[in-house]
Structure 1
Amino acid sequence: MPASGPVHEALAALPLVDHHCHGAVTADLAPGQFESLITEGEAWPGVSPFDSPVGVAVRRHCAPLLDLPRHTPAADYLARRRALGWREVNRRFLTAAGAEAFCVDTGYAPHPVTSPAELAEASGGAAHKVVRLERIAETVAAGGGAAGAYADAFRAAAEEAVRRPGVVAVKSVAAYRTGFALAPERPTDAEVTQAAGHWLARGGRLADPVLIRHLLWTAVDLGLPLQLHTGFGDADVRLHRADPALLTDWLHLTAGTIPVLLLHCWPYHRQAAYLATVFEQVYLDVGLALHYTGPARSRAVLEEALEITPFRKLLYSSDAYGVAEFHHLGALSFRQGLAALLQARVDADELSLPDALRIAAWTGRDNARRLYGLPANDPARN
């Protein structure tokens, strides 16, 4: 039986703000395509991603939204998904997520996915945009130009991007490109020009430590909240370099500037909690980990993240990409996991019920509203 109690009821009814996610695919997926999208690894021969915690969670918690019994076999699940069609599948799962607003990173789209406007329409919520800075830098580099003009061209392009309607934040994937063991100081103009010369001659994606430092400091100058991927990701990340504690010196230098939002964090969510405790500008979420653990273990992840984190510093995100199941599963895992841990503290008299309800609203919605300047009951359809 589902857990019950006033905290569970409050979180079940709370319109969430998903402060970091991506679009859902706009195509009917073949079985192999779907399986490849529910793992950060690969769908290996003879090993189905359905035979994993996230695969089990999909069959348990997503099947009923497709009019199927809980724990339905994977083949039946995929057949029903194709029969309904991607538009209806997306509508059902995005609506079930119960989010009043999504902050959408549009900088990663190896598959055709919904735009923020399409995500908003399918969900009945609002959608805002998160600008990925590495993509802007790579677009500038692809346009040619002299190395000495790179810094000004990148800054101008970034400033233009963040002035567009609906943009509420910027994001960097420095964790993937170089990791965080970077010199914390702002690079000099000469260093940037030299590094840009090497990159423009070589081509490829942005992975130069000097230019990544320049990108992060440009983000500070832009003045919007900065989202940083940390921790868990696909095989492209070198996990030991994605520990947010490696940002400590840079955070000292950027104190008093912009909010820094540490995304995902697992397995470094305790390090992220430390940073959020000692640096005023640092916030965190445990998105991505929530749908990969599912409701069965989301409470444990959230409990570790909240061991010392100030309650105004934790936000909700799904980091859902590709399959709309993840928008729903992330929200469900967050609601159930947070409700269970808060209700347990109320029952143990470690927390009053009014405090628990306030924490639930802060973490699920209000912290994001405050940081991104989102109005209550946001009607935007950007």
Structure 2
Amino acid sequence: MRAGDTLPVELPDAVREAVLAPLVDHDFHPVRGDDLTRARFETLITVADAPAPPGTTHFDTPAGLAVRRWCAPVLGLDPHVPPAVYLARRAELGAAEVNRRLLRAARITAFLVDTGRDGPELLPAEEICRLDGAAAGEVAGVERAEQAVAISAVSGVSYISDLNHALADLVSRAVAFTATLPVVFDAARPSRGAVIAAANRRLAAPKEELTDPVLLRHLLWAAFDAARERGLPVRFHLPRYGPHRALAAFLGATQQFGVPVVLLGPLDGEALHLAATFPHVYVDVGSVPAHAASGAAAVGRLLELVPFHKQLFGSGGRGAAESCHLGALHWRRGLAGALAVRLAAGEWSVPDAARVALMVGSGNARRVYRL
């Protein structure tokens, strides 16, 4: 391995350059712009989003070890420094400088920022661009738009028209919609009468999380209709135990319109099969290597099951800039290992390996999101 190179294997120059080329991060969430306490930082580097049990630390996790190994040098420290040393350096540099260093080191040329939630401590997309020098686009969360409509609507009838207007306004400035699929749902478009009745019930408690199955279906279809007007993608966060039968039915019903649908993890075999089956379905692949024992094996499975033009890199970065940096690094390392195996076996040519790396890293996102 070349000195200073983060890739775990030797690759031909053309492939190496393609793997290390700037990425388009299609699944990025705002990072915090304030200085973080140790307790808050630890909750941001774990999916649990809760403190570690008494007497333990989230630094004793794969993510914690990765922060000390790969993020420490970006902040001017030796790899594997103790957590206290890392956090002291983080505090010394300040949040703005830490974010700038880590985001730039990720070598990302465009961030598609999921704006499903915000807060005074979270950096808006334009600030992320200023720190990193990258472009940015907004991915609008439809649940948030629905709640605003539910709060302001005066009747079930106005709820329908107000929601359509709100989604049309969002689609005029966003690059995509994103929604969370309910665990159980019917793929059919609900009737107007059923929506009005459900909306009238919804208006009694508009600040509550949307759980009504009729309104959830209506929201998905309304978002799809709005995105269809502009040819923008619709992204679905899949539940851990996915409703694949209903999802397959929904994808079958929407295939004729040609609107891209992007599935965001967790990705199981059935979800990958849907991407291979339906021409308008794509999958987010960036977070896969970080949660597997072998990044190369995880990426290799994706390359075997999903067409290369259906895969989109996303760091899944959120909260702490370290998550974005590690998402990009884990993806590159996993992809490098998977490509090296295929090149060594003579299964792929050097030009093909370089082309696939560029497609997944940036080309597919530019095409699907019309960047």
**TM-score, scaled relative to structure 2:** 0.92
The alpha-carbon deviation at position 291 of structure 1 amounts to: 4.0
State the alpha-carbon separation in 2 of the partners of residues 244 and 328 from structure 1: 32
Partner residue in 2 for 1:275: 274
- Counterpart position of 2:330: 333
Residue 233 of structure 2 is aligned to residue 225 of structure 1 = yes
Change (3 A) 1:306 1:245: farther
Question: Of 63, 68, 78, which aligns to 1:59?
Answer: 68
Q: What is the aligned partner in structure 2 of residue 128 from structure 1?
A: 137
Q: 127, 130, 134: which one pairs with 1:118?
A: 127
Does the Cα contact within 8 Å between 1:265 and 1:284 map onto a contact in 2?
Answer: no
Aligned to 2:4: none
Amino acid at match of 1:221: D
Name the counterpart of 1:263.
Answer: 264
Aligned to 1:378: none
Q: Is the 8 A contact 1:291 1:318 kept in 2?
A: no
Counterpart residue number, 1:15: 22
The 5 Å alignment of 1:1-382 reads 1=1, 2-6=8-12, 9-41=16-48, 42-44=50-52, 45-109=54-118, 112-164=121-173, 167-174=174-181, 178-179=182-183, 181-203=184-206, 204-222=208-226, 223=228, 224-231=232-239, 239-240=240-241, 242=242, 244=244, 246-257=246-257, 258-266=259-267, 268=268, 270-293=269-292, 297-374=294-371
Aligned-partner Cα distance in 1 for 2:64–2:245? 31
- After TM superposition, give the deviation of residue 252 of structure 1 in Å: 0.8
| SS of 1:89 mapped into structure 2 | helix
Report the CA distance between 1:140 and its aligned residue.
0.7
Residue type matched to 2:11 in 1?
G
C-alpha change, 1:54 and 1:11, in structure 2 (3 Å) is: farther
Aligned length: 356
The letter of the residue matching 1:34 is F
Report the alpha carbon displacement of residue 33 of structure 1 after superposing the two structures with TM: 0.4
CA distance in 2, matches of 1:48, 1:255: 47
Check whether the contact 1:244–1:262 (CA below 8 A) recurs between aligned residues. no
1:70, CA displacement in angstroms? 0.9
Q: Give RMSD over aligned pairs.
A: 1.7
- The SS at the match of 1:101 is strand
**Secondary structure at the counterpart of residue 294 of structure 2:** helix
Deviations along 1:32-60, one digit per CA (max 9) or x if unpaired, are 00001111112222331111111111111
Residues 185 and 243, structure 2, Cα contact 8 Å, conserved in 1: no
Q: Quick one: which amino acid aligns to residue 271 of structure 1?
A: E
The alpha-carbon deviation at position 297 of structure 1 amounts to 3.0
Letter in 1 for 2:162: A
Amino acid at match of 2:353: A
Q: Distance in 2 between matches of 1:272 and 1:251?
A: 12
| 1:262–1:198 Cα change, 3 Å | same
1:211: Cα distance to partner? Answer: 1.0
Q: Is the 8 A contact 1:298 1:334 kept in 2?
A: yes
Which residue of structure 2 aligns with residue 377 of structure 1? none
**Distance in structure 2 (CA, Å) of the matches to 1:299 and 1:118:** 34
Structure 1 counterpart SS, 2:309: coil
Show structure 2 runs of 5+ residues with no match: 2-7
Partner amino acid, structure 2, of 1:230: L
Closer/same/farther in 2, CA of residues 14 and 22 from structure 1, 3 Å limit: same
Mapped to 1, the partners of 2:69 and 2:244 lie a distance apart of: 33
For 1:60, what is the secondary structure of its paired residue?
helix
Instruction: State how far apart, in whole Å, the 1-side matches of 2:324 and 2:189 are.
Output: 37
Q: Deviations over 1:239-282 (max 9, x none)?
A: 22x3556411111111122100001334x2x2222111110110
> Could you tell me how far apart the structure 2 residues matched to 1:81 and 1:98 are?
20
Alignment partners' CA distance in 1, 2:321 and 2:245: 32
- Cα contact 2:153–2:162 (8 A) shared by 1: no
Q: After superposition, what is the alpha-carbon deviation per residue over 1:200-245, rounded to whole angstroms, capped at 9, x for unaligned?
A: 11331212111111111112211220011125xxxxxxx22x3556
Structure 2 contact 276–305 (Cα < 8 Å) conserved:
yes
Distance 1:40 1:80 in 2: 24
Q: Given residue 220 of structure 1, which amino acid in structure 2 is its aligned partner?
A: F
Which deviates more, 194-203 or 85-94? Answer: 194-203
SS at match of 1:170: strand
SS at match of 1:254: helix
Residue-by-residue CA offset, 1:124-157 (whole Å, 9 max, x unaligned): 1100110100000001111131112211110111
Tell me the CA shift for residue 111 of structure 1: 6.5
Output the CA distance in 1 between the equivalents of 2:356 and 2:74: 29
What is the CA deviation profile of residues 72-101 of structure 1, one whole-angstrom value per residue up to 9, with x for unaligned ones?
Answer: 111111111111100000000110111111
